[in-house]
Amino acid sequence: MPLRLLPSLLAAILSAALLWAQAPHVWTPQELFTRNVGTKEDQDRQFPPHKMIGNLYYVGTTSLGSFLLATPEGLILINSDYERTVPVIKSSVEKLGFKFTDIKILLGSHAHGDHMEGDAMVKELSGAQVVAMAEDVPALQKMRPGGKPHPIDRVIHDGDTVTLGGTTLVAHLTPGHTRGCTTWTFQVTDAGKSYDVVIIGSMGVNPGFILVNNPDTPRIAEEYMHGFDVLRGLKCDIPLGSHPAMFRLQEKFAKLGQTPNPYIDPQGFKNEIEIEYSAFRSTYDAQLKGGQKQ
């Protein structure tokens, strides 16, 4: 090789190496599942209940996200989690100085047991109105811990709103993870400024999910892609999710009290969407390449 070409070759090799080093890690479904769900101890362990911003509070566990909105007319709880974790949520609500019986509305992220199995117990303890996305109703009706029927007081559809005491939440259908997976958006006000909050229902592809030729949900890949399109179109200052790892709860909680509020993280919202999308896309492409044809 002529010596005059050596610098160009070295530069090309260095550039390729830098691009490889900077390439984002593509999470596998198993990695994301482990990151989000954690251990049973993580699911059951009370995370310090605290005010996040404005009238929004965290009342969930280390790996299961539950949120409380306080209004002049009562409380809105988002995600009851497992039935066994309802006492943990109740304890968190009370540690913040609220009464569990003041919960007027119960919302959920999606029809999986770790987010909505506890609906019946929450209703029994508080009398709250249980709200569910229409597409998730069949799955919820099969969710009967201890044989108890799953309460559903109001069925909603994409774009519907839920309002209490001046706080309005909008339900966005972001399907894929479940047929009725719901992303909630609303605004909070803090120090005279309003912020857009997004609680991502979930866009994870769990291990074993069939994205190609799924006999139960033939258009599941299209539903996922629609969900990602919806999320990318949302305005977000404060990203949250059904699992705390989706918005780095522990890291941000450690910085609480600093200025600006660490939960204000619009770039984090975009990052999480792309993490979830790359996992979906790589899984979908692998299933297509593996001989499963649409």
Give per-residue pLDDT as tens, 65-79: 999 999 999 999 999
Confidence of residue 158 (pLDDT cuts 50, 70, 90): very high
Domain architecture of the chain: domains with CATH = 26-289 (3.60.15.10)
Residue type, 240: L
Q: Name the CA radius of gyration of the chain, rounded.
A: 21
Q: Is the pLDDT of residue 59 over 70?
A: yes
Q: Is the pLDDT of residue 270 over 90?
A: yes
Long-range CB contacts (< 8 A, 24+ apart) of 70-73? 70/98, 71/164, 71/165, 71/166, 71/167, 72/165, 72/166, 73/104, 73/164, 73/165, 73/166
- Containing 276, the helix (H) or strand (E) segment is helix 266-289
User: What integer pLDDT is reported at residue 4 of this predicted model?
Assistant: 53
Q: Is the pLDDT of residue 133 over 50?
A: yes
User: What integer pLDDT is reported at residue 20 of this predicted model?
Assistant: 39
pTM greater than 0.85: yes
Q: How far apart are the first and last CA of the chain?
A: 49
| Packing angle, helices 266-289 and 220-232, rounded to 10 | 160
